[in-house]
Chains A and B, each alone.
Chain A
């Protein structure tokens, strides 16, 4: 049986957590993701940028009540990558 390679962009704890969270919601604020993933702002910011550069997520920056607000949402490309990642994981587990 041929094993599918796991997407290196998703195969990292925090990036995987961010994408898993975003597939379940339409959009989420940076602070929400930070709280749910229990990560630091600096580390999360780096991982969000990596996901954004891979076009797996879309990041919108705006202002709400004079405070900066970062909103993240998954892209169709990110969704497809996540589905492929889960399928690949399953193939490993079924043969493992």
Chain B
């Protein structure tokens, strides 16, 4: 960019161009969605077998797998931060929404487990799954996340009304719709963007 005298319209052009450059800097690899989506699907499916299938007794609590996922998430965050060269206000908003979600899920899961209130906690979890998913999808105009969130809300109604062992499977289905499916789509979009940037 040359150092020259600017006309008023050139100034406006620069301002508009730069604001658009920043807007097009949305970075979402889909890795978090896939990681947590698969973890939830596996955990809730194992919990279903553990509670509903005779002779299928897990020697450990399946939800402990989330500790491994947490470690993997930290690893990927660190790796991806090398590729990210700017933080937008939207990134910050996302971070806090998902942080609030994590704390809420932790409270519902632990309190529900301690109080043996699994059947009451499960529909609440589905409602919680939907909130940040819907916000992320709506803000980024990414329909699969919005659809996933709506599926979680609908499933939560079913789980609220019919308490059974199948509830675990319905929560797994909610996680699949909200994160696994959109996660693959985000990943494909991200790879396409990277290939385009690399000129492949």
**Could you list which residues of chain A lie within 8 angstroms of chain B, going by C-beta atoms?**
6, 11-14, 16-17, 20-21, 23-29, 31-32, 35-39, 43, 64-65, 85-86, 89, 92-93, 96
Does B91 make an interface contact (CB < 8 A)?
A: yes
Q: Tell me the nearest residue of chain A to B82, going by C-beta.
A: A65
Q: Is the CB–CB distance between A26 and B18 below 8 Å?
A: no
Which residues of chain B from 40 to 61 have a CB within 8 Å of any chain A CB?
A: none
Residues on B with beta carbons closer than 8 Å to the beta carbon of A32: 25, 85-86
Does B195 make an interface contact (CB < 8 A)?
A: no
Main secondary structure of the interface of B (DSSP, over half): helix
Which residues of chain B from 96 to 115 have a CB within 8 Å of any chain A CB?
A: none
**Could you list which residues of chain B lie within 8 angstroms of chain A, going by C-beta atoms?**
1-4, 6, 8-12, 14-15, 17-19, 21-23, 25, 82, 85-89, 91-92
* Smallest beta-carbon distance B42→chain A, Å: 32
The contact of B3 among A13, A36, A38, A93, by CB within 8 Å, is A13
* Smallest beta-carbon distance B199→chain A, Å: 15
Q: Is the CB–CB distance between A25 and B86 below 8 Å?
A: yes
The contact of A28 among B2, B12, B23, B86, by CB within 8 Å, is B86
Q: Tell me the nearest residue of chain A to B81, going by C-beta.
A: A64
Q: Give the complex CA separation of A37 and B4 in angstroms.
A: 15
Q: Give the complex CA separation of A11 and B11 in angstroms.
A: 8
Q: Is the CB–CB distance between B87 and A21 below 8 Å?
A: no
Main secondary structure of the interface of A (DSSP, over half): helix
* Smallest beta-carbon distance A6→chain B, Å: 8
Q: Is the CB–CB distance between B6 and A27 below 8 Å?
A: no
Residues on B with beta carbons closer than 8 Å to the beta carbon of A29: 85-86
Residues on A with beta carbons closer than 8 Å to the beta carbon of B4: 13
Query: With A17-B18, A20-B14, A36-B18 known to touch, is A25 a contact of B1 (CB < 8 Å)?
Result: no
Residues on B with beta carbons closer than 8 Å to the beta carbon of A23: 19
Residues on B with beta carbons closer than 8 Å to the beta carbon of A93: 8-9, 12
Q: Give the complex CA separation of A23 and B4 in angstroms.
A: 22
Q: Is the CB–CB distance between B11 and A89 below 8 Å?
A: yes
Q: Give the complex CA separation of A25 and B17 in angstroms.
A: 14
Residues on B with beta carbons closer than 8 Å to the beta carbon of A12: 3, 6
